[in-house]
Amino acid sequence: QVQLVQSGAEVRKPGASVRVSCKASGYTFITYAMHWVRQVPGHRPEWMGWITTGNGNTIYAQKFQGRVTFTRDTSASTAYMEVSGLRSEDSAVYYCAAIDLGDYWGQGTLVTVSS
């Protein structure tokens, strides 16, 4: 069965970077894009963009351009999302999702930015 398993919760100081991983299984990884969604607790989800896992092309929401980087390791069937220059307002749950395959989401990774 399709599974997306994300890395565990992270705590970072303002200005630092964080990388979240998303390991896919149960399907051919390079066939479907991996999307990333951010949700501040108690707020609506925000679509951050996606990576075409086959060729590595990326699309970013304007809000996240320049501070967010999507990458993937096809040999490990894993997608990564890195945020640099963290601010307190980046504290959120980050999800990966293979929505072009179906309604498949990772379990979410809580990133807390605090001094």
Interface with another protein (CB under 8 A) = 37, 43-47, 61, 95, 97, 99, 102-103, 105-108
Beta-strand runs (E) in 13-115: 18-25, 34-39, 46-51, 58-60, 68-73, 78-83, 92-97, 109-113
- Residue 83 backbone zone (phi > 0: left; psi -120 to 50: alpha; other: beta): beta
66 or 102: CB nearest another protein = 102
Residue type, 64: F
63 or 74: CB nearest another protein = 63
Find the shortest distance in angstroms from Cβ 102 to another protein: 7
Find the shortest distance in angstroms from Cβ 13 to another protein: 26
26 or 74: CB nearest another protein = 26
103 or 115: CB nearest another protein = 103
Find the shortest distance in angstroms from Cβ 47 to another protein: 4
Find the shortest distance in angstroms from Cβ 82 to another protein: 21
Q: What is the DSSP letter of 68?
A: E
Q: In whole angstroms, what is the distance from residue 77 CA to residue 7 CA?
A: 14
Structure-token pair, residue 18? 């964080």
